Amino acid sequence: MRGARAFLVALTAAVVAACGVPPTGVVDTGPAPIARGASSLTRIYLVRDGRLQLTNVAVGSAHVNDLMATLFKAGAQPADRLTTALDGLHLAEVQLVRYAPDPSSRNDPDNTVTLRMRVFVSGLKISRIAMAQITCTARLRSEVWAVEIAHGTPGDTGPLKVHTCREYWDLAPKNGHLPP
């Protein structure tokens, strides 16, 4: 009985070892694939007739880097007469830092975590409407309370000016409004 068991164990090991596929070494096939979830719709500001116009676009994720990348890649949509003032500008980097505004300027107990978004762009000069597109799109996110836009590279821009969408309210769509 013991001999039969030993024989079956040996036979099973031999069959498994001789599966017909020769062993190979490690084969490098490049970087590992990146799994991404399904894209979702988000809102960004494009331009129609010199005014900001809210529009829905597909974005890879809800992260602010993807939001800003989508804004900078958004092109004209002739069917809706929408254009962008960001042509000739390139998104270099987006940074999120904690924002500590003057305590008397904010009284929102439901949202205690607020962030300042720093957007670094390169390319042509930034027009006022391009700054409005960036600022107001960022302000659509409830956690972003202020936006700093710099033309150049991080560390080589000098002091950054804080922007809110309020300074661009004159660019609101007709019969519409912009975030604060």
**Domain-embedded: residue 25:** no
Whether 114 has a pLDDT exceeding 70, the answer reads yes
- Asked if 76 contacts 82 with a C-beta cutoff of 8 angstroms, the reply is yes
> Domain limits at 135?
40-171
Q: Please report the pLDDT score of residue 118 as a whole number.
A: 93
pLDDT tens for each residue of 53-86: 999 988 888 788 899 999 999 876 676 889 999 9
Q: How far apart are CA 174 and CA 180, in angstroms?
A: 17
Whether 129 has a pLDDT exceeding 90, the answer reads yes
pLDDT tens for each residue of 1-36: 677 777 766 666 666 555 666 767 777 776 666 665
**Domain-embedded: residue 164:** yes
pLDDT-based confidence at residue 156 (cuts at 50, 70, 90): low
Q: Could you give the C-alpha distances from 21 to 13, 17, 112, in angstroms and in order?
A: 15, 9, 60
Total structural domains within the chain: 1
Backbone phi and psi for residue 68, each to the nearest 5 degrees, phi listed first: -70, -40
**Domain-embedded: residue 4:** no
Q: Please report the pLDDT score of residue 110 as a whole number.
A: 54
Range list of β-strands (E), 81-124: 89-98, 115-123
The count of other CB atoms within 10 Å of the CB of residue 39 is 13
**Domain-embedded: residue 131:** yes
Could you tell me the pTM of the whole model? 0.70
Whether 122 has a pLDDT exceeding 80, the answer reads yes
